[in-house]
Structure 1
Amino acid sequence: MTRDTAELGFAPPDRLLITCGPAALGLLLAWVLPMVARWALDLHFWLPFRPAFVVVGAVDEPWELAVQAGILVVLGLLGTATLYENLTTVTVSRFEARIGPAGLPRGEVTAVYLDGDDLVVLDRESRQAARCVPRARRRVLAATFPEFGYPWRDADPYAGLYHRWTPSSDALPPAADAVLSARAVAVRKKAAKEARELRATLEKLGYSVRDEGGEQLWRPLVHS
């Protein structure tokens, strides 16, 4: 029996690990860190950040351990919340792929692939119609998208068209070069939202961009 839709989120073991793991790690560290700090101080070797070892090693009263455990558990829960916020559930049907709030008609999708940890969907102009860090694992994505008729690729099908960007390159029109210059600054400052907006601006000019090893690579858009 074929499925009408598939929601690609955390697998049960992953959900359990992400939900409980950081908090459990916080509890473990609350118990282990004071012992490790005291052991390190007893070695009488030079320690970087020695005052921090002294403070942690001084925690030995039950109420102090409880306070430390509470702080670390809260930090763990904040880490869990961050993962849930930043990792995306993907819903796939015969008609559209929904990645976060965006719905992409199947007929407009020409390639789906993973770029590192990011799931990338290209439209008929080879633009990045969607990009996210998915909750589902690679093998699940690679099996499900073809099942629903989407063109899954093992890598970027246009990877061979990219060129390394250098400032004031004669290969690009001045407007595109200016956008890449501004985006290089945004990437260096880790201004992710600004970098995304500049990517969209560059695509309006007819070019795509990807990041590799701290450098920008560009290519012309390709109509399918």
Structure 2
Amino acid sequence: MDDKMLEKSPPTVLWFSRGDRMVLIVGGILVGALLGFAVPFVASWGASLTWIPFQGPLELIASWSQWWVRYVCIGVGILLGLVLVAAAFYDTARVAVSETQVHITEKGETVTVTRSQVATAFVDGKELVLLDAASRQLVRVSSEEKRDAIEVAFEQRGYQVAPGDPYDDLYYLWVPESPGLAPEVNAVLKARDMALKKKAGSDARELRSELDRLGVVVRDRKTSQYWRPLVRS
């Protein structure tokens, strides 16, 4: 089968299914509408209890007696519910796997990795990881899909899939000024540690790429960083 035929094969998409998307959208609408419907009642109840803070805003809302107020609250609630659903869609990685490449879209950014670049694919906890022949992390992204679904998607497209991280025993816990690491590597890991504590995800990803360039792979376990050297196959 040539590349043109492979390109015509629709990719397997690892993301929310159509049913899941409908459930989230309808759920967001219903929950938002119910909360909006309840706002005037809650405001009236809260305004009657002087010990509850924010009495001013509560009294203001409770004073709105016009017939349209409840419908406005319901509309605002629906809008907020849909905004939360849209945020969930935006933040959740969408992975499209074909025989020739992998597209990963997350937070408005898309990364494309060709089949020839990928040496190994595996699931690490809730993260999809793609490694190249030098064991460099081409992709490490959180996924809401189950491990089995991810592994099957890549196996069916002909990718080499490992049951876990093949280099798991090579990782070391990073501590400031770790022995065995070059000063510049320790400096980048220190900067990345600060970025993780500040929840600056984009900075942490950029620093991960810089570590790859310096010959070090990093992964996170809660608030700790673990590192290993690159291993060429």
Query: Normalization by structure 1: what TM-score?
Result: 0.82
Partner of 2:12: 7
The reply to whether residue 89 of structure 1 matches residue 94 of structure 2 is yes
Counterpart position of 2:79? 74
* Aligned residues of 1:86 and 1:133 also touching (Cα < 8 A): no
Unaligned runs of 5+ in 1: none
Partner residue of 1:155 out of 164, 172, 184: 164
What displacement does 1:201 show? Answer: 0.7
Preserved contact between residue 192 and residue 203 of structure 2 (Cα < 8 Å): yes
Return the alpha-carbon distance in structure 1 between the equivalents of residues 112 and 150 of structure 2: 17
Q: 1:192 to 1:125 in 2, by over 3 A?
A: same
- Say whether 1:218 aligns with 2:224: no
- 2:155–2:161 Cα contact (<8 Å) kept: yes
* Alignment equivalent of 1:23, drawn from 24, 29, 51: 29
Alpha-carbon displacement from aligned partner over 1:162-206 (angstroms, at most 9, x marks no partner): 111111122211110010011111111111111111111111111
Counterpart position of 1:140? 149
Contact (CA 8 Å) 1:87, 1:132: kept in 2 or not? no
Does the aligned pair in 2 maintain the 1:35–1:57 contact within 8 Å? no
Identity of aligned residues (%): 35
Amino acid at match of 2:31: L
**Structure 2, unaligned stretches of length 5 or more?**
1-5
Give how far 1:32 is off.
3.6
Deviates more, 1:69-78 or 1:153-162: 153-162
Question: How do residues 180-195 of structure 1 correspond to structure 2 at under 5 angstroms?
Answer: 180-195=189-204
CA RMSD of superposed structures (Å)? 3.0
SS at match of 2:102: strand
Aligned match of 1:122 in 115, 131, 148? 131
Distance 1:33 1:158 in 2: 54
Report the Cα distance in structure 1 between the residues aligned to 2:155 and 2:99, rounded to whole angstroms. 10
Residues 122-148 of structure 1, C-alpha deviations (whole Å, 9 max, x = no match): 111222212334465544322211111
Amino acid at match of 1:13: G
- In structure 2, what is the equivalent of residue 99 of structure 1? 104
Give the partner amino acid of 1:166.
V
How far apart are residue 39 of structure 1 and its match? 6.2
Aligned residues of 2:39 and 2:73 also touching (Cα < 8 A): no
